[in-house]
Amino acid sequence: MSTDTMGSAYGRAPAHFNETLAAVGPGTPCGELLRRYWQPVALSDSVQSVPRKVRILGEDLILFRDHRGRAGLLYPRCMHRGTSLYYGRIEPEGIRCCYHGWLFDVQGNCLDQPCEPDHGRHRESARQPWYPVQERYGLVFAYLGPPQKRPVLPAYDNLETLAPGETLWHSYGGFGATGDDSLSVVPYSWLHMNDNVMDPFHVQVLHSTFSTVQFVPQFAVMPQVDFFATEAGVCYSAIRQLPDGRQVDRVSSWLLPNIMSVPDVTLKAGPSSGVSWVVPVDDTHYVQAMVARVPKDAPFRNMLFNGKTWGQMTEAEHRDTPGDFEAQAGQGPITLHSDEHLVTSDRGIMMLRRMLLEQMEVVAAGGDPTGVTFDGDAAVVKVRSGNFYRAKQAVG
């Protein structure tokens, strides 16, 4: 066959995504794995005395804070006759349904049935479906898994101690993909961002030499990269020889199943100051929850591209200077895994996907996946990420 007839787009095989990786709903392999870890569902400050709709892992839920300050996450359809608790009213002890006034506390216990004799003689046996929540680092975390498998909510060593003059910065939405707060939900699979974190090579191309310098010029140096497995995920080390003679080793981390710590994108020296979670809303949408230690007098700001935030850019500017959002949205609602041609630079992605698939099997077999712990004393996670500089001669 001559080369001008090979590789034709005509008659190609239908492409498909890997459903085992991509589906996050209840009962799916990856959905069950994700449900074994605490997932951030909102910023604490955003949960007030007004019920909020929350969608996570393909489930619609109602999030609220009672007048005693406790956050609660309930199944939205009232167990009585099914109207939505979105229309409920918050009281000191819980949320009261608008239709016939049943009152539920943050654990779904029914405290009042005002239309019934004695306010419901059997109300103790009524239970609105609920999920446990806990708050840490300014985020509300929920556990959507089997109750008997509920792990300790982990702490992260780089978020535990604030230096004088530091505060915790938070965001919940599309900041990680866009560099600004213009998107509350990102309209494609969480897998795209999850893969992206173990992809140090796109930093040299997409962020540094293809579009414009989106972070710092030093990223235009092609790094020497090593990927290595850790006790609960994958790290990369990307070493660059800088023109001033120094080396910088940029270490980034992915932790099972959807957690990352990306070091400072201006290559500021030192350990990473943040942790983020790529939380699936459903199979084709996600939100990124981010927490970072920042100086009080220099908080995180929306990033500017040619003086504009991502949300202010025109369609032509998005096309001419694509960033993470454009590259990841360009992969479609869920990337077509059967179309991919993974190569040596994708080794980190292959490692993290393999870990996800292995841990799905562990869960399916009744085991506990890597990274969950039931021992409160052991629940501080070590974060290795950072930008580490050395004099060039100090390294072989």
Where does this chain bind Fe ion (CB under 5 A)?
Answer: 324
**In the chain, alpha helices (H):** 19-22, 29-34, 157-160, 175-178, 190-196, 201-204, 315-320, 324-329, 347-364
Among 52, 80, 149, 150, binds ligand FES (CB under 6 A): 80
Task: Report the half-sphere exposure of 197 (CA within 13 A, side-chain side).
Answer: 30
Closer by beta carbon to ligand FES, 46 or else 84: 84
Closer by beta carbon to ligand FES, 81 or else 296: 81
**Residue 333 exposed, middle or buried by CB count within 10 Å (0-12, 13-18, 19+):** middle
Spatial contact of 154 and 374, defined as CB atoms under 8 Å apart: no
Minimal distance in Å, beta carbon 236 to Fe ion? 13
Site string for ligand FES, 91-120 (x = CB under 6 A): ------x-xxxx------------------
Residue 212 DSSP label: -
Site string for ligand FES, 312-351 (x = CB under 6 A): ----------------------------------------
Q: What phi-psi label fits residue 96: left (phi over 0), alpha (psi between -120 and 50 degrees) or beta?
A: beta
Angle at CA of residue 320, ends 350 and 174, nearest 5°: 55
Closer by beta carbon to ligand FES, 64 or else 325: 64
How big, in percent rounded to 5, are the helix, strand and coil portions of the chain?
25, 30, 45
Minimal distance in Å, beta carbon 78 to ligand FES? 3
d(CA 345, CA 343): 6
d(CA 25, CA 367): 20
Query: If binding is defined by CB under 6 A, does position 81 make contact with ligand FES?
Result: yes
Closer by beta carbon to ligand FES, 43 or else 97: 97
71: nearest Cα among 142, 129, 2, 10: 142
Minimal distance in Å, beta carbon 323 to ligand FES? 46
Q: Out of ligand FES, Fe ion, none, which partner does residue 215 contact, by CB within 5 to 8 A per kind? A: none
Minimal distance in Å, beta carbon 303 to Fe ion? 12
Among 20, 46, 83, 312, binds ligand FES (CB under 6 A): 83
Minimal distance in Å, beta carbon 116 to ligand FES? 10
Question: Cα–Cα distances in Å, from 160 out to 143, 253, 268, 297, 381?
Answer: 21, 18, 20, 20, 10
Closer by beta carbon to ligand FES, 95 or else 225: 95
Q: Out of Fe ion, ligand FES, none, which partner does residue 324 contact, by CB within 5 to 8 A per kind? A: Fe ion
d(CA 157, CA 383): 6
Closer by beta carbon to Fe ion, 22 or else 177: 177
Query: If binding is defined by CB under 6 A, does position 302 make contact with ligand FES?
Result: no
Q: Out of Fe ion, ligand FES, none, which partner does residue 278 contact, by CB within 5 to 8 A per kind? A: none
Question: Cα–Cα distances in Å, from 310 out to 39, 262, 279, 317, 376?
Answer: 27, 20, 21, 9, 41
Query: If binding is defined by CB under 6 A, does position 89 make contact with ligand FES?
Result: no
Site for ligand FES in 59-78 (CB under 6 A): 78
Length of the chain (residues): 396
Minimal distance in Å, beta carbon 204 to Fe ion? 11
Q: Using CB under 6 A, list all residues that contact ligand FES.
A: 78, 80-83, 97, 99-102
